[in-house]
Amino acid sequence: MKPQRRDWLAVAGMLGLLVGEAIFDPGPWLAGQVLVASIAVVGIPWRRSLSHLVLGLVSGAGQTVSLVAYLNGVEYLNFGMTTAPLALLVYALHRWGTHRQVILGTTLWLGPLAVRLTILQPDPDPLTAVLVGWVIVGLLGIAMRYRASLLDEQRAKVRLAERHLLARELHDTVAHQVSAIVVQAEAARFVSSQDPEALSDALANIVDLANESIAEMRRMVGILREEPSRLPSPSNH
């Protein structure tokens, strides 16, 4: 899905948070934190279609920086800067990702994390908080996916009902017009030998009714042939 204007606004907002935290609450090895957070922020515009890959990049970069920090004697890093963009990516993964993408994204995130746990053996409390946060945000994304599915189903039912209504209206209109044509034809046959002028008027009425019927049928059939997305939405009713 192509990035939209609001995606770039989200990036700008996240960058503002990142800069603010770097200035007012810098943690150990600030450059590493900024690097990982920047990868997460840059991937936000593509979160609807590539959130699993972005999460993999963020996780790989985060665990790599943590390992390098460990080898250089720097204390374990808890990348607080990535909290907001990471939450958005996790939400997007469970909201828009396919089942395969959800499994892949979760694996790409937990795999490097498991490696870090094995090698560094850090304090488990921050990692537990990360996992709990993942579950909560993921469940929120699943809930919103389910809600959107219900809304789509309701819209489909409304549009189907509209099609049935239009088909019934088409039937009633054609039946009415044909009945009127039959009446005019009977009248024309009755007056044909007695009043030529009345016959001409009756034939003219038959032509007008026939043209109206054809125009009405074409209009309604055209509506019925339209794609569902072009039919009136429930909000308009």
* Residue 215, domain CATH: 1.20.5
More confident residue, 206 or 229: 206
Q: How many domains does the chain have?
A: 2
Residue 158 CB neighbours (<10 A): 16
> Is 128 within a domain?
no
- 61-73 tens-digit pLDDT: 887 887 787 777 7
> Is the model's pLDDT at 77 over the cut of 70?
no
Whether 92 and 180 share a structural domain: no
Confidence at residue 233, expressed as pLDDT on a 0 to 100 scale: 44
Whether 172 and 88 share a structural domain: no
Q: Point out the domain boundary residue: 122, 146, 169.
A: 122
Whether 112 and 159 share a structural domain: no
> Is 87 within a domain?
yes
Residue 107 CB neighbours (<10 A): 14
Confidence at residue 186, expressed as pLDDT on a 0 to 100 scale: 74
> Is the model's pLDDT at 230 over the cut of 60?
no
Instruction: Give the CA angle between residues 136, 131, 69 to the nearest 5°.
Output: 140
Domain that includes residue 214, residue range: 155-236
Q: Which of 6, 104, 127, 2 is nearest to 55 (CA)?
A: 104
Whether 114 and 160 share a structural domain: no
- 139-159 tens-digit pLDDT: 999 999 999 989 988 888 888
Whether 116 and 159 share a structural domain: no
Whether 116 and 173 share a structural domain: no
Whether 93 and 168 share a structural domain: no
Cα–Cα distance between 202 and 192 in angstroms, integer?
Answer: 10
pTM of the model: 0.65
Q: Point out the domain boundary residue: 122, 145, 180.
A: 122
Q: What is the mean pLDDT of residues 188-201?
A: 70
> Is 106 within a domain?
yes
27-41, 81-95, 198-212, 214-228: which has the highest mean pLDDT?
81-95
Whether 104 and 188 share a structural domain: no
Confidence at residue 193, expressed as pLDDT on a 0 to 100 scale: 66
> Is 132 within a domain?
no
Q: Point out the domain boundary residue: 100, 122, 144.
A: 122
Whether 173 and 227 share a structural domain: yes
Q: What is the mean pLDDT of residues 96-115?
A: 86
Q: For residue 79, what pLDDT band results from cuts at 50, 70 and 90?
A: low
> Is 86 within a domain?
yes
> Is 142 within a domain?
no
Distance of CA 222 to the CA centre of its chain: 28
